[in-house]
Amino acid sequence: MKGKGFFKSPFFILEDMKIANQHVSASFKTKGAELISLVKDNQEYLWQANPKHWGRHAPVLFPVVGKLKKDQFTVDGVEYPMSQHGFARDKEFEIEEHNSDSITFILKSDAETLKVYPFKFELRISYELINSSIKTTYSVIDSGKGPLLFSIGAHPAFNCPMTADEKRSDYWLQFEYAESLETHLLEDGLFSGAREKVNMSDNKLLIKDHLFNKDALVLKRFKSERVHLYSPHKKWLTFHMAGFPFLGIWSKSQESPFVCIEPWFGLADNASHNQKLIDKEGIILLKPKETFSCNYTVELF
């Protein structure tokens, strides 16, 4: 299985797959089309899903982002159950195309998804290595006869610290621009309506041990399209996220040695939400045969 374009349709389902170039290698599993390893110069950048802290690597959030009120939504007066972040992260994807340095996964609606989500769709997740970067592209097609309502987002976790002689609290996130940020507070996964100022030093967000005591930082208004992860010794990565309206930053606990940088098209429910999917903040509406596409890039140093 070497060389560019070693297979293309028909579809395959395999346990995990790998792509590589002269700078970076990346591995994936077909469950959730999830990135599970990202290596440059023998350094593993991606969190390795230790269940003691958090048993995932970089799940896709679809067809909702965050938690729904009472774990359900309504369409045309009918209630549908939906767990936090949706079902795509736990579904088996097919491989549509696999080259030496890129791979595309596809998930289509079926009888099981229609029981909990009454829309026909095609979701493609593509990964491409470009020099020392990995570009992730999400594409959603409305394959039904009516409008498609959805949200989509990323949830990649990066090792923090990267080396054994450092602590997470040694690190910081540096925004492209000086920001005056507010986080929208969550209670039991739902927005309470309260907001709180994010303490910044110029454009730096220090990853202090207490930073995630109130759950994720959820940012709705920010100027920066790039965020960098630094330690005192070096810049480790730059996260390019142009076009995403919302950003989550999260770690599980004060002791969890990772940080998630999460660009989103969509949000959790507000505690006062009427549960109608059409009225959900950040919801995307597609017409039949229309395609929505977005992408982000992680550049490694």
Q: Is a pLDDT exceeding 50 seen at residue 87?
A: yes
Confidence band for 191, pLDDT divided at 50, 70 and 90: very high
Torsion angle in degrees (nearest 10) through CA of 28, 29, 33, 38: -20
CA distance 32 to 154: 12
For 49, the token pair is 């899903």
Confidence band for 16, pLDDT divided at 50, 70 and 90: low
Cis previous bond, 263, omega within 30: no
For 89, the token pair is 């992260």
Please report the sign of the dihedral spanned by the C-alpha atoms of residue 191, residue 197, residue 199, residue 200.
positive
Torsion angle in degrees (nearest 10) through CA of 26, 27, 29, 33: 10
pTM reported for the whole predicted model: 0.93
Q: Is a pLDDT exceeding 80 seen at residue 256?
A: yes
- For range 268-295, the mean pLDDT: 97
CA distance 24 to 273: 43
CA distance 21 to 15: 21
CA distance 157 to 40: 16
Q: Is a pLDDT exceeding 60 seen at residue 3?
A: no
pLDDT digits (tens, 9 = 90+) for 30-84: 999 999 999 999 999 999 999 999 999 999 999 999 999 999 999 999 999 999 9
CA distance 40 to 145: 45
Cis previous bond, 161, omega within 30: yes
Determine what percent of the chain is predicted with pLDDT higher than 70. Answer: 95
pLDDT digits (tens, 9 = 90+) for 105-139: 999 999 999 999 999 999 999 999 999 999 999 99
CA distance 172 to 149: 36
Q: Is a pLDDT exceeding 60 seen at residue 288?
A: yes
Please report, for the chain, the start and end positions of each structural domain, with discontinuous segments joined by +. Answer: 7-300
pLDDT value of position 12 = 42
Confidence band for 195, pLDDT divided at 50, 70 and 90: very high
Fold of the domain built from segment(s) 7-300: Beta-galactosidase; Chain A, domain 5 (2.70.98)
